[in-house]
Chain A
Amino acid sequence: LSRCRCIPAMQRELGTLPLAPALRARLAAAGFQTAQELLDTGPCGLSKEIGISREEALEALQVVRQECDGNAARPAGGPGATRKFTALELLEEEQTQGFIITFCSALDNILGGGVQLTKITEICGAPGVGKTQLCMQLAVDVQIPECFGGVAGEAVFIDTEGSFMVDRVVDIAAACVQHCHLIAEAQQEEDHQKALETFSLENILSHIYYFRCRDYTELLAQVYLLPEFLAEHSKVRLVVIDGIAFPFRHDFEDLSLRTRLLNGLAQQLIIIANDHKAAVVLTNQMTTRIGQSQSTLVPALGESWGHAATVRLILHWDNSQSNILMVLIQTQGFRIWWLSRKFLVLSAFF
């Protein structure tokens, strides 16, 4: 993925690059002079050195890169050509994406920080293990203000089973607000107090956009309409589909149609996650796979669906039902974590 960067354009003075004057001033004050120096520092280093957010740093670097690339031989595609990144740059970009934290450290740990924006996370498990609970929790946690470590976003909740019980969401939201109040009390910072003024139960509930889909046709239609909805509601950072399996596990004589529809859905969701910088969270059922000597529980919807999500989290009871085993599978490998049952039942049940 690496591309050669040895072109004289890199020695361009910062003053000749199309950067905002305020930004240019900060760069000058920090001692940066050429485009090369900027690119060598990378987005994380840059944001620390001149005190801007990582997003701003990334944007600035992209502008610089494009300018410099423009002076080299133009690719055949012309001005609208795709940007080229090295693998390192992609990794850095990925690491600057936000996480939706859950305030449950075991869960945030296994997820590598929280539920990742721009990725699809699939939660699988037997009935009753807590998939819908987790989705309701995330619809609240996505709204946590930035000063408390959240992404200050809004949530879309697509419900195919009718298991979204608003009373439970109220409990979860109340507990989350209380948790933030405790943090604010302990840390006594001004922006915490200010954020808490708007982080109230009513505000939280009003920013969860609920859609009920009663069959797979309604679900397909809803997903076609999502990009438009997200463009109109640009603060949405979470799209939940609870559950993806339910509408697809009956009524299908033709399994190849099902596979094609699911693949299409997956493609659309990947694009939505990326374009709108949102986390997509899906819940899936478990089904029995009958082997030669024994049967095992595996996620439903078949083998090809297994590759749709970036991150697959499987929740499994242990034999005593007092612990949940969490198995996380993603392209880089897998992690296993034990979670005591009471921690997954996060808020008002203590």
Chain B
Amino acid sequence: MDWDQFDLNPKTIAALKKADIKSVKEILNLSGADLQRLMKLSSADIQCLLKTVSHALRRNSMLTALQLYQDKDHFTSQHQKLSLGCSVLDNLLKGGIPLVGITELAGESSAGKTQISLQLCLCVQYPYKYGGLESGAVYICTEDVFPSKRLQQLIDQQHKLRADVPAEIIQKIRFGNSIFVEQAADLDTFQQCITRRLSLLLARGMVRLVVIDSIAALFRCEFGPAESALKARYLQTFGAQLHSLSTRFRTPIMCINQVTDAVSESEAAQCSCRIMGSKVTPALGITWSNQLLMRLMASRTSLPTPSPGAASHCAGSMRTLSVVFAPHLPPSFCYYTVQLEGVKGVK
């Protein structure tokens, strides 16, 4: 660290170099008394040092809520969200997925979680005007093989799903080229993937969506009941790394999670998932829930399809997408079906 660039008096700079203090973090981690002892400076000098390095670290960091509200810039604005490609679903989420933070999509198998994720990988590639982020996506598979056939189907049918977008724009997008598929079946591979591959793709601006399908599978076999503390640490570390990447690159992280039967009523209640009367709880417990900005739950409903007589290409049984918690949304839900062209909300 080049201490000369800071607005400090030469005595302090010399003391910093002599005490071999290499970073602002080190300074802030030491107590006032330790700093005085290490650097042999007076308490007033230390206070001055702390203020100066704090100023340097936090220069220009204040915004008023009004400035946040009025910011319309594509990259920084809070109003910018990642659309799901369907106006009904976007309305449920008041625009779409927030760009900073980890969003979880939990649900039973065949509820449609992978379908929604694939759809997002296509939506992200559209221009800002159409709810996209003009960039690609990383899809990290942790258990199943990537559904390339289904992806191709969805690509072929984009013009049908996105009737709001002019055909020439859709034709210009090379959807397949911008989806990067990674396989990570265990924790070490996953760790490598995040720290190397993901950081690289994000730094180059090639992707602005990360999908992890699924986060639960990584932890299923590796930890016995006595290792819950170790499991919690892994969860917190991954959560923090993903959160940090998301913040730095303003990229939404979509984690798919499985559900398990709620062990007790009170556990189900604390994990906020009794809304639809379901007795399941997302896997990985409160440690993981604490890392999330938003939790969505996808489930199969027992309601019949709205128009049983009409032809539809897929077994269109009704599904439910619910907002379990989000800082900006009330608990709410909407219905959707999975069609050939993708996931569509039902009004």
Contacts and interface: CB of A to CB of B under 8 A. Distances in A.
A303 interface: no
A208 interface: yes
A167 B275 contact: no
B286 to A, nearest CB: 6
Contacts of A321: 269, 272, 274-275
B31 A288 contact: no
Chain B interface category by residue count: 35 or more
Interface string B40-70: 0000000000110111011001111110110
B312 interface: no
Nearest to A345: B330
B265 interface: yes
B286 A166 contact: no
Contacts of B64: 205-210
Chain A interface category by residue count: 35 or more
A211 B65 contact: no
B237 interface: yes
A162 B101 contact: yes
Contacts of A133: 327
B227 to A, nearest CB: 12
A128 B328 contact: no
Interface in B117-173: none
A335 interface: no
A126 B57 contact: no
A210 B25 contact: no
A286 B286 contact: yes
Contacts, number: 159
B293 interface: yes
Given A128-B324, A218-B58, A287-B287, A167 B94 contact: yes
A217 B25 contact: yes
A286 B327 contact: no
Interface string A246-278: 100111000001001100100000000000000
Interface string B249-273: 0000000000000000110111110
Given A162-B100, A287-B287, A290-B228, A317 B272 contact: yes
A168 B237 contact: no
Given A257-B29, A319-B266, A250 B240 contact: yes
Interface in A336-350: 345, 349
10 contacts: A126-B270, A127-B325, A162-B246, A163-B327, A206-B64, A217-B57, A286-B286, A287-B286, A319-B274, A321-B274
